[in-house]
Structure 1
């Protein structure tokens, strides 16, 4: 579908509102092409004289043979090359005729429809098909009905009432013409039902001939469908009967602001909805697993804390406390995953929770330390967030133990500050933890340190996450900073 930027680059001189109107029309391209069995080309004027045009969009039908094997978007033509287009634009009326198709010089039957927006012609829609279409495809009731529906929509385009204004229908998720179509009169009676529409209705329990019956009589009573006759806008609804789900899109047809009826496109989406339910069930199961893992980790933490109370060795108590904090960091990730519908987690949310935990665990009135998170790394896969959470937990622990040692008392009014900085590029995640404490020595070498905390950090960052870590003294002020870079997986 042509974007506003692409339409603007053609140098049409049209306003933003006019370009948006053309973009809405192009969004209905597929339905219009299938109803007309034709290629559709959108011509927009390059100058106000109407002597030169650019092809802004093109689509081929799925219901018929295409005339064009190559792409014509961006091609510029003059009024001599396309006299019918220029005539429809200048006279503001539908023009039909034949034109030669270059480079083969085959003839094409063309219907040029002026596109009106607020009493101004802003472009021309050209419907193009082989002149012997009737001979190549013997037109039956289906073909005649499709073509009549297209002609009605063409009149609305020329009148400025199609495409519908302020429409919120996602046209990438709606039925196509070939899925099934009903033609409805102003009294909601069915005038015509395509074979595929009959098959879909049969699957929801509507048997026999439906021609002449009202929609309510066959069980289509959705309030959104009723709204088609009340406002000139498309609506989409779903009905479920006999274990079959059917999506319906209603398109009102009007002439001179008088409702002439509507088109209903039907699509059997039973398999799609079944897959949706399976995905929802799968997501619920995964969230329940994460919830149980979190509970199990919390149980392990409780057991370790009970064990720690029975241990007399100070060193053993410290080791148990550190293990409890590491388990808690992993449990936080699973708690977040238990509340998410995807396998991605907000890294900043996990960092906030770890910062709050550190704030509650390590601060006291005589040792005030403030933890804050800055930046955002967006949603990150859980297999990256889990080790990063453990790494962050270790860094916060090391910062408290070494940057704000108890041997160096806090002076009056001084507050320790630990900042967690998050950033993200297309290829990597960056996390930094910095403080305003005593700082590491100038010649500090993190690779030579043998402490358990730094060993865990190095192992997770460099081995599991194939990233890098650097611990150094801050150059701007007192304190230290740990810089971590982790590559993101390629899609």
Structure 2
């Protein structure tokens, strides 16, 4: 839709309200194209530079919609085409006289006979654009009742476009794919009685459990007798009544006999005359069944993450208890380091246990990790550990190895950069760019020891970092003196795209 609004802003003088009306029309006009068995082209008047001098009026095609119920009149996209000469006469008549103009004889587009109709697009007291309704007549035959109902409904909607009542100012296109004409259509009288139902509509009613006749039956009585939840039938009846009164209600789902049918009602009020409503319906039983399966799987996955988190916290607590009972300092330190690693992994699973996404907001994890490390290492009073910048969203597969790497590097900085209870600051700086994440763990401590090479360190923590960064994160880690003064920078450079296995 942004391309359309950009084109209208550059090539026309339409104001924001007029652009919004056109955007709503383009969002809903598939219904009109399908009912009319015709291509819809949206034309706006523009000034076209002439070869000699001045400018001549023309019409620019800014949007196109092909029917899903019949053959298209155009094999090639017409958006961007500028019409001049005799072809613009119907468009000018519709624009100037604010009425629907239909050519008597079909026009020929190559070998195809095309019947053209120009429908003014009105907003308030002004015609702001013209819809070209171009129907391919190559396969014309005696119309069936279905086609007659479709064409009459299309004529009623076209009249509402010319009146400025379709689409309504408060209408918004449905999110996702809503019911289409081919899914099932019923036409209702002003009292809600069904006067026509397409074969697919009859099938939809049958899926709900309707066994008797459908025609001449009120829609509220028809659905209330089969709906599992009586409130569904009540909501549908209210939506139909609202549409008959000129409203544009949202879609309503009705469940019955194991089936789920999606309904959406459209008003039919050309020239202010209440003719009833169109009721589109779609069998979404399988879609909802898949949605339930996905929700069930998501709930199972979240429960697994929750249980893993609880188990990891239990392991961390056991390691803490064991460390308190060990008299050998080296063994106690090893147990405490293992406890911190387990706790850092538990942070990731805790976040995943409340999310259904395949990615996690990582900033909160880092903040809790820094607080946890400061507490368990007893450094909160002398070393400040803070985050700067944003990690943003990190793929779930990368979250666990990344939090382990940060745990090791921050723990290493707190422990070795500030010996003998020294004071200072450890800063985790995150910088995102397209497809990559750069993280710098910066301290203002004593700096790197003489001859230090991170890649050949015999420390277990740095070996874990090197392994995880290269094997799990497909990134690189480097160490350098702090360019802003004392201390050390540990720099991680990681891709954020999923790693191929």
Q: Could you state the TM-score of these two structures normalised by the residue count of structure 1?
A: 0.92
Rounded Cα–Cα distance in structure 2 between residues aligned with 1:322 and 1:490: 30
Alignment match, 1:287: 302
Alignment match, 1:228: 243
Rounded Cα–Cα distance in structure 2 between residues aligned with 1:258 and 1:137: 31
Rounded Cα–Cα distance in structure 2 between residues aligned with 1:50 and 1:137: 40
Rounded Cα–Cα distance in structure 1 between residues aligned with 2:245 and 2:296: 38
Rounded Cα–Cα distance in structure 1 between residues aligned with 2:22 and 2:117: 18
- C-alpha contact (below 8 Å) 2:107/2:115 kept by paired residues: no
Q: Could you state the TM-score of these two structures normalised by the residue count of structure 2?
A: 0.90
The gaps in structure 1 that reach 5 residues or longer are: 411-415
Aligned: 1:453 with 2:461: yes
Alignment match, 1:147: 151
Alignment match, 1:418: 426
CA distance 1:283–1:407, change in 2 (3 Å): closer
Rounded Cα–Cα distance in structure 2 between residues aligned with 1:480 and 1:224: 66
CA distance 1:164–1:310, change in 2 (3 Å): same
Rounded Cα–Cα distance in structure 1 between residues aligned with 2:311 and 2:216: 64
Aligned residues: 481
Rounded Cα–Cα distance in structure 2 between residues aligned with 1:66 and 1:57: 15
Equivalent runs, 1:388-407 vs 2, <5 Å: 388-406=402-420
Match of 1:197 among 198, 201, 210: 201
- C-alpha contact (below 8 Å) 2:24/2:172 kept by paired residues: no
**SS at 2:218 equivalent:** coil
RMSD: 2.2
Instruction: Map Cα deviations across residues 295-340 of structure 1 (whole Å, 9 max, x no partner).
Output: 2212222222232233211100000000000011111111111111
Aligned: 1:40 with 2:40: yes
Match of 2:189 among 185, 189, 212: 185
Match of 2:482 among 461, 474, 481: 474
Rounded Cα–Cα distance in structure 2 between residues aligned with 1:368 and 1:90: 79
The gaps in structure 2 that reach 5 residues or longer are: 49-54, 224-232
Alignment match, 2:132: 126
Rounded Cα–Cα distance in structure 2 between residues aligned with 1:454 and 1:338: 29
Rounded Cα–Cα distance in structure 1 between residues aligned with 2:450 and 2:64: 66
Rounded Cα–Cα distance in structure 1 between residues aligned with 2:336 and 2:244: 69
Rounded Cα–Cα distance in structure 1 between residues aligned with 2:7 and 2:247: 26
Equivalent runs, 1:9-88 vs 2, <5 Å: 11-47=11-47, 51-88=57-94
Equivalent runs, 1:328-407 vs 2, <5 Å: 328-363=343-378, 367-406=381-420
Shift of 1:445: 2.9
> Which range moves more in the overlay, 293-302 or 254-263?
254-263
**SS at 2:275 equivalent:** strand
Shift of 1:260: 2.7
Shift of 1:90: 1.7
